[in-house]
A and B are shown apart, each in its own frame.
Chain A
Amino acid sequence: MEGKSYQRLPRVKIREMRDDYMKFELRDTDASVANALRRVMIAEVPTVAIDLVEIEINSSVLNDEFIAHRLGLIPLTSDRAMSMRFSRDCDACDGDGQCEFCSVEFHLRAKCHSDQTLDVTSKDLLSSDHTVVPVDFSDSAGMESSEQKGIIIVKLRRGQELRLRAIARKGIGKDHAKWSPAATVTFMYEPDIRINEELMDMLTLDEKKAWVESSPTKVFDFDPKTEKVMVVDPEAYTYDDEVIKKAEAMGKPGLVDIIAKEDSFIFTVESTGAVKASQLLLNAIEILKQKLDAVRLSEDTVEADDQFGELGAHMRGG
């Protein structure tokens, strides 16, 4: 490889990890990579979700489409999703998407016999595959809330009945939000906050306190003992410029210097429960790789090689 290499070696540092939540740092890369990762997590990581509903009996107050829509939005555990086939390119079935390789069948039967309203929830959905079941939040959540009943689908009163068969299929968030495994994926640039101590020392106690207060989030703190202003939580800073404006208003421009580090990001990932947050990240990286491979291996890229020259080599991972 002649010329300059554009290669960087991003680092990931996991700060916090729970089943449905993860916070990590991504360093030594730029916004395009961070954003690509975010976009893939939202839109391209496959999960399994109910896609076809055959309603046998529905005497509930909600109509068929309503219930079907609600069923679709229930997150299903989709650890198997990566290895499953899309029903559109499944060769085991003739495209009707009802074979074991590309679909999971669910059954729901509920009838209310008492005078109390019966809540039909995601727990009433019976799966044909024990690996694909409605997400159960009761065990994953740290605190044992008294009775987690699952996601409510419809309420039935005496005599009402709901009986249906549902087919869950693999899909991606780009097609429909029900296949998106991510509840929240967001990142921020890590702020670099530097207080100009000289200027800060010129402030009175009250001024310091007022300045600390001017930030809507708890970024700075005033230590009454040392009488110094400290940065306690730089990441709480929302780039709102309030403290800078305050400093200017106090006649001390340059009191604090805040810049966003352009190569390090703090990611927050919350999962719907379909896949674990950590797995979501791994899957996303996997898919991102596949996509890059697809670009690299396509004939267009080889042709474009001459055009792009050095860049083409970079694209091929050189």
Chain B
Amino acid sequence: MGVAQDSSADPPKKNKQNRSNDGKQILHSAIDKEFLAAPIKSATDKFALLPEFLKVRGLVKQHLDSFNYFVNTGIKKIVRANDRIVSGVDPSIYLRFKDISIGEPSLTMDGVTEKIAPHTCRLSDMTYSAPIKVDVEYIQGSHDQKTRVEKKGVVIGRMPIMLRSCSCTLYGKTESELAKLGECPLDPGGYFIIKGNEKVLLMQEQLSKNRIIIDMDKKGNLNASVTSSSERIKSKTIIQMENQKIYLMLNQFVKKIPIMVVMKAMGMESDQEVVQMVGRDPRYAALLMPSIEDCAKEGIHKQEQALAYLETKVKRFSFAGASSENDGRVMTVLQDVFLANVEVCQDNFRPKCIYVAVMLRRIMDAILNKDAMDDKDYVGNKRIELSGQLISLLFEDLFKTMIAEVKKAVDNILTKPSRSSRFDFAQCIIKDSITHGLERTLSTGNFNIKRFKMDSKGMTQVLARLSFIGCLGHMTRIKPQFEKTRKVSGPRALQPSQWGMLCPCDTPEGEPCGLIKNLALMTHVTTDEEESPLISLCYCLGVEGLEVLSGEELHTPYSFLVLFNGNILGKHRKPQHFAAAMRKLRRAGKIGEFVSVFVNEKQHCVYIASDGGRVCRPLVIADKGISRVKEHHMLELKAGVRTFDDFLSDGLIEYLDVNEENNSLIALYEEEATTETTHIEIEPLTLLGVIAGLIPYPHHNQSPRNTYQCAMGKQAMGNIAYNQLHRMDSLLYLLVYPQRPLLTTKTIELVGYDKLGAGQNATVAVMSYSGYDIEDAIVMNKASLDRGFGRCIHMKRYCAVNQKYDNNTQDRILRPNRDGFDSGPMRVLDDDGLAAPGEIIRRNDILINKQVPIVTRGQFKSALHDSEFKSVPQRYDGPQGESCVVDKVALCSDKHNNLCFKFLIRHTRRPEVGDKFSSRHGQKGVCGTIVQQEDFPFSERGICPDLIMNPHGFPSRMTVGKMIELLGGKAGVSCGRFHYGSAFGEPGGHADKVEAISETLVRMGFSYDGKDFIYSGITGCPLQAYIFMGPIYYQKLKHMVLDKMHARGSGPRVSLTRQPTEGKARNGGLRVGEMERDCLIAYGASMLLYERLMISSDPFEVQVCRVCGLLGYYNHKLKTGICSSCKNGDNISTMKLPYACKLLIQELQSMNIVPRLKLAEA
């Protein structure tokens, strides 16, 4: 650990102070003195936990954990729930799934199965998947000769495997083993490879399932809503208060139902009991009164009456027709759809009634006290759906479909009167539907699950491989629950509960601002945990079950309701004791580390949660403000005797979710802890995410600047992975000489950005130079560029396929003709007809000398003659005038077994005027001009800057962090030690203080303020001012002039309108748009306007009939214009129109609108 040398002088002093402070505390409180006298640790040492945490959990652990859970537990549960296929024809014929497992990722080619590595899949456009194997037991034969057969390892399909998950070949591999497999050890995994593309299943943000949420709708009515989700059904139940009356809204009913009717229908016939259940407070009774009266007015007193009333309101299936289908539907609706999360056992509706009562009580609380409303944006009310859950949903759907298909196929066979072969159930299992379903969904990102009416698009994205950090950032991204178009500020605003869980900086600008979020560094997202042991534990710890409680007893004062994952378990008389006991068990490792216990004093509830999707983070436990993690623990950690998990199991550290954080007082630093403090942060810098962690001194910057940098860091060029030169991405940007930042942060080291950097340390002079530096443009030193600053490699992939056709013909590739007329563009070709690696290639050179058979349909043909082929060489369409190089040529076979060629074309570019650069503080700028070194200013020491930045970039942006980066960088290069600038790192020693930096600078003979005495390179005279100069880490962004520069004279036109095409790719024109047109009109430049909009665009000569005003045509034989409606050519005038105008006239005519032109002499 590179702790600052300069600052190492400070800590002992600080420690002493701490100790003396604590000495006072001991005097005040009469606790075990020996215990308190133990050495108190300074926050610096706790940092070692962070790398340890990342070693154990990794940066994308949430994805991996969730996928592992699916593979190990989730998939088994699904199969256990649907384990039988029973024939509809003969019920004794069945197939039973006994077990399911996911094998090793492998590839079966021509019957031979071999293991595959992910990199092979990337290169050859395959899906990285493993066989899904089931153990089955089934009946063989039919009619009389039935035998029960068991079969193991039957493959029912292939499951795409998440990289680095427990089913992946890379799991638990060392660095050298990974290198052998062609994998980058710094790659975090957590994505899939589908048909050679790396796909990420983004985390999905959702509102909590099975929880009561109280909120106000647009009309100002109070709503209590529950989104229920059970294994079978998903439903949304809303109880609404409108005009003092309370109603139920459920999509199964055609209109709002008075809530009392529902209660009565569930057997709660006594109004008094309902009131008791809600609570004895007369205010509650008063609020409930109108609803009770309403119900009485309807004349509903008995359960039967209520059911009869509901029967009329229930939605009818229009297609069902017969009333028998709909009979008794109310009961099933109430049982299964209404509050589906509360289970009804043996027609016992009491739990459901209590649940409704609690909902009512919450509504009334909210009426009496507005604070009791729930905040939908509160992170504790949110769940994050992870890839494992999504895949599990998908798999379940596909598995059920497969079962249905198999059943259909089996029934088909069994109904056939005569069969040639013996019936074998196992043969009927269809493999393709699951494989294709999974593959298609993951590659398109369109999740279509009919069961839950789920149809969401864009769930998967191609992993951004523009830079290493962009790839990491993509994996921590959270997709919003709402549409981006909603113009609301609430969900976009920064939530206080986001602290430490979601990065406050990393969000895009513009439309999705604030909706797309990113996880913070230490955040973990939970996966589901087994519920039943926890429930029985709760009862053991003194929770009184609902069965034994009367409505009256439910809400006795000082007793709290206990809710487990949203379901009411019962009540507890000593909630704090109960919570303490649960926490103790959790710290002792008896129950899962992610179980959260939250005592809500306001609602008189204890919430226990073990469901998946909660965000949580580790914190150090403190007893009365004194950290449980002691010096010796950290020493053990350093010695390698102790791991992060040991800290957890020893109860030194625990995970808190957002709700439980409300029951704790968390001190930022140990020094700030008071006796009430229950937890201490591990490191304040973990508040930020991975990408924001790259910014040095982010806490000195204006906050939007950090957000801008988060967006730009993803566009910075640099190294992508250790295997970057073995990849065949469609587009790759690499830096020739990437460097590690001189001013680093702890996050940079943890993440590996120091190994795969994306920028260079440029010596920057903050001064004005030449006027080519206005509006954030930077002036660059030509000699620096000559020496390799900002030089980048741009690699692009071109593909070609050797297609096979239906008539047994296929494309062919010919040896190039070395002295024919085409020999020029063919010079890069090798003898095999493909471009040779290492050859310099220019625009319009031929990449592949391919010929296609002229006839590709119809009857079979063999041995085609040369004349039956036509040449279709593929040409390189790179930038004009640049010389690129063929980097690699790869051959593979695609899924149709066609031979596939991939060419990687490399282009090395040096920066030019207009290329975009940025520092790490959201200060982007383009290169304004490139200046000779001798013209550049220089210092007495001979230091000449690499680039010059205009000082106007500072005052309005307030990026003080950039200034400190410059100072720290300057001190760093002069004293030979990397300086640190971690977020909020000054107290912990993870960021060098400006004071210390200045001291170093003075020691090295520089001015304390980082300014130098500079001479002009042009005149040799000293400059008037001292210049702030030093190294700043600069990123080269992917936006380069060469890719964007475009101009055209005449060129292609669109055939429909005959106007010039649009866009660079189509060599299009530059549009004189409406606003430009307005300018020309206002100026009066009519001839220019005429020329731009007509002559240079789409001039067209038309024949207009002066009589009828319609367009005619020109008869070439008679050499006159003829009007087709007047049937003569007497009154024809010739005039010029834009072709688009003529098109409009004709299109209008086709719609029965007749535009007539009235001509007059001009």
Kindly identify which residue among A42, A65, A216, A240 contacts B934, using a CB–CB cutoff of 8 Å: A42
Contacts A43-B933, A173-B783, A240-B1007 given; does A185 touch B736 at CB 8 Å: no
- CB-based contact B1007/A42 at 8 Å: no
Closest-CB distance, B936 to chain A (whole angstroms): 10
Assembled-state Cα–Cα distance A61/B722 (Å): 11
- CB-based contact B1019/A186 at 8 Å: no
Q: Is A160 an interface residue (CB 8 A)?
A: no
Q: Is B1045 an interface residue (CB 8 A)?
A: no
Assembled-state Cα–Cα distance A128/B1017 (Å): 38
Give residues of chain B (928-964) contacting chain A, Cβ–Cβ below 8 Å.
Answer: 932-934, 938-942
- CB-based contact A216/B1006 at 8 Å: yes
Q: Is A189 an interface residue (CB 8 A)?
A: yes
- CB-based contact A63/B793 at 8 Å: yes
Kindly identify which residue among B725, B932, B934, B942 contacts A270, using a CB–CB cutoff of 8 Å: B942
Closest-CB distance, A108 to chain B (whole angstroms): 16
Q: Is A184 an interface residue (CB 8 A)?
A: yes
* Complex interface bits, B750-763 against A, C-beta within 8 A gives 1, otherwise 0: 00000000000000
Contacts A58-B838, A65-B885, A174-B932 given; does A35 touch B1020 at CB 8 Å: yes
- CB-based contact A31/B1007 at 8 Å: no
Assembled-state Cα–Cα distance A144/B939 (Å): 31
Give residues of chain A (60-76) contacting chain B, Cβ–Cβ below 8 Å.
Answer: 61, 63-66, 69, 73
Assembled-state Cα–Cα distance A192/B1017 (Å): 23
Comparing A80-88, A175-183, A221-229, the segment that makes contact with chain B is: A175-183
Kindly identify which residue among B782, B906, B1005, B1020 contacts A238, using a CB–CB cutoff of 8 Å: B1005
Assembled-state Cα–Cα distance A36/B1017 (Å): 10
Closest B residue to A268 by CB, please name it: B942
- CB-based contact A238/B838 at 8 Å: no
- CB-based contact B1019/A31 at 8 Å: yes
Closest A residue to B840 by CB, please name it: A64
Kindly identify which residue among A176, A187, A236, A239 contacts B786, using a CB–CB cutoff of 8 Å: A176
Contacts of A240 in B (CB 8 A): 1007, 1013, 1026
- CB-based contact A239/B783 at 8 Å: no
Q: Is the interface of A mostly helix, strand, loop or mixed?
A: mixed
Assembled-state Cα–Cα distance A238/B1002 (Å): 12
- CB-based contact A216/B788 at 8 Å: no
Contacts of A38 in B (CB 8 A): 934, 1020
Assembled-state Cα–Cα distance A176/B1012 (Å): 27
Q: Is B787 an interface residue (CB 8 A)?
A: yes
Kindly identify which residue among B908, B933, B939, B1006 contacts A180, using a CB–CB cutoff of 8 Å: B933
* Chain A-chain B contacts (Cβ-Cβ < 8 Å), number: 94
Q: Is A217 an interface residue (CB 8 A)?
A: yes
Closest A residue to B786 by CB, please name it: A177
Contacts of B908 in A (CB 8 A): 63, 65-66, 69
- CB-based contact B1005/A64 at 8 Å: no
Closest-CB distance, B840 to chain A (whole angstroms): 9
Contacts of A69 in B (CB 8 A): 736, 788, 791, 908
Closest B residue to A242 by CB, please name it: B1007
Contacts of B934 in A (CB 8 A): 38-39, 42-43, 173-174
Closest B residue to A266 by CB, please name it: B940
A: contact size bracket: 35 or more
Kindly identify which residue among B787, B793, B939, B1005 contacts A186, using a CB–CB cutoff of 8 Å: B939
Closest-CB distance, B765 to chain A (whole angstroms): 15
Q: Is B887 an interface residue (CB 8 A)?
A: yes
B: contact size bracket: 35 or more
Contacts of A186 in B (CB 8 A): 938-942, 1015
Assembled-state Cα–Cα distance A240/B1007 (Å): 7
Contacts of B906 in A (CB 8 A): 63, 65
Closest A residue to B1013 by CB, please name it: A239
Assembled-state Cα–Cα distance A39/B1020 (Å): 9
Contacts of B1022 in A (CB 8 A): 189, 239, 260
Closest-CB distance, A241 to chain B (whole angstroms): 8
- CB-based contact A177/B782 at 8 Å: yes
* Complex interface bits, B899-936 against A, C-beta within 8 A gives 1, otherwise 0: 00000001010000000000000000000000011100
Q: Is B1008 an interface residue (CB 8 A)?
A: yes
- CB-based contact B787/A73 at 8 Å: yes
- CB-based contact B1007/A177 at 8 Å: no
Contacts of B1015 in A (CB 8 A): 186-188
Closest B residue to A241 by CB, please name it: B1026
Closest B residue to A57 by CB, please name it: B838
- CB-based contact B1020/A43 at 8 Å: no
- CB-based contact B940/A238 at 8 Å: yes
- CB-based contact A238/B1013 at 8 Å: yes
Closest A residue to B883 by CB, please name it: A65
- CB-based contact B1019/A61 at 8 Å: no
Contacts A34-B1020, A239-B1022, A270-B942 given; does A177 touch B1005 at CB 8 Å: no
- CB-based contact A66/B940 at 8 Å: no
- CB-based contact A188/B1005 at 8 Å: no
Assembled-state Cα–Cα distance A260/B782 (Å): 31
Give residues of chain A (233-270) contacting chain B, Cβ–Cβ below 8 Å.
Answer: 236, 238-240, 242, 260, 268, 270
* Complex interface bits, B514-532 against A, C-beta within 8 A gives 1, otherwise 0: 0000000000000000000
- CB-based contact B939/A177 at 8 Å: no
Assembled-state Cα–Cα distance A272/B139 (Å): 86
Q: Is B1082 an interface residue (CB 8 A)?
A: no
Most A CB within 10 A of own CB, among B791, B906, B1001, B1020? B1020
Contacts of B1118 in A (CB 8 A): none
* Complex interface bits, A142-178 against B, C-beta within 8 A gives 1, otherwise 0: 0000000000000000000000000000000110111
Closest B residue to A43 by CB, please name it: B934
Kindly identify which residue among B885, B933, B1021 contacts A31, using a CB–CB cutoff of 8 Å: B1021
- CB-based contact A178/B786 at 8 Å: yes
- CB-based contact A185/B942 at 8 Å: yes
- CB-based contact A216/B941 at 8 Å: no
Kindly identify which residue among A63, A239, A268 contacts B887, using a CB–CB cutoff of 8 Å: A63
Give residues of chain B (716-742) contacting chain A, Cβ–Cβ below 8 Å.
Answer: 725, 736
17 of the cross-chain contacts (CB-CB < 8 Å) are A32-B1019, A66-B793, A66-B908, A173-B933, A174-B932, A177-B784, A178-B786, A180-B933, A185-B942, A186-B1015, A187-B1020, A188-B1015, A216-B1002, A216-B1005, A216-B1007, A217-B1005, A238-B1012
- Chain A residues close to B by CB (< 8 Å): 31-32, 34-36, 38-39, 42-43, 55, 58, 61, 63-66, 69, 73, 173-174, 176-178, 180, 184-189, 216-217, 236, 238-240, 242, 260, 268, 270
> Top 8 nearest A-B pairs by Cβ distance?
A35-B1020, A184-B942, A177-B786, A177-B783, A186-B942, A31-B1020, A39-B934, A239-B1013
